[in-house]
A = this chain, B = another copy of it.
């Protein structure tokens, strides 16, 4: 039942690396059982310890979930970075990475942005992974301004671009928007078509 990574394991009683193991177990449970299956007791059992053991490493369930979200932010940035250079328009690429991550990790994405962890994880006192992702967007917008909307309030463009991709991701996950409504085969195709159409009018800048 253990997740397998106990590098500092010492004996059967003391786990050795329980904190990290709990986070890994939680991520694994979240991926194949979703949010409803993610109970503290299930996480503890998956790591081979008793129900109350997590409280030696996390003050409560929210603290564990904040760690899980942090893992999510790291993977999120990696996913966006992977897609960033595969597109002629870097903003389109960044957007694809954003939405694709959401589609590939629905439960994790929901946890990261549900706002239930907003007290612990918000933009003001956020961890580095989240800020790194936000900085990607700021940089891409800076190197390729959205002048098709005019040059007033240029700093709003980051919030706008973020809203577009976040809205697409959320609505697809909630089944309010789907590929078959637009006679497309996959949601990925829908995302590409939307981002290419609504993020691409930046040629006139040069």
Contact = CB atoms under 8 A, between A and B. Distances in A.
Contact of A113 (B115, B160, B170): B170
Contacts of A181: 123
Closest 9 CB pairs of A and B: A167-B167, A163-B167, A115-B174, A166-B167, A163-B168, A118-B175, A122-B175, A159-B177, A160-B198
Chain A: interface size category: 35 or more
Interface string A142-182: 00000011101101100110111111101101111110011
B114 A156 contact: no
B175 A163 contact: no
Contacts of A201: 148-149
Contacts of A110: 115
**Copies of this chain per assembly:** 2
Contacts of A113: 170, 174, 176
Contacts of A165: 167
A156 to B, nearest CB: 6
A107 B43 CA distance: 28
A174 to B, nearest CB: 4
A194 interface: yes
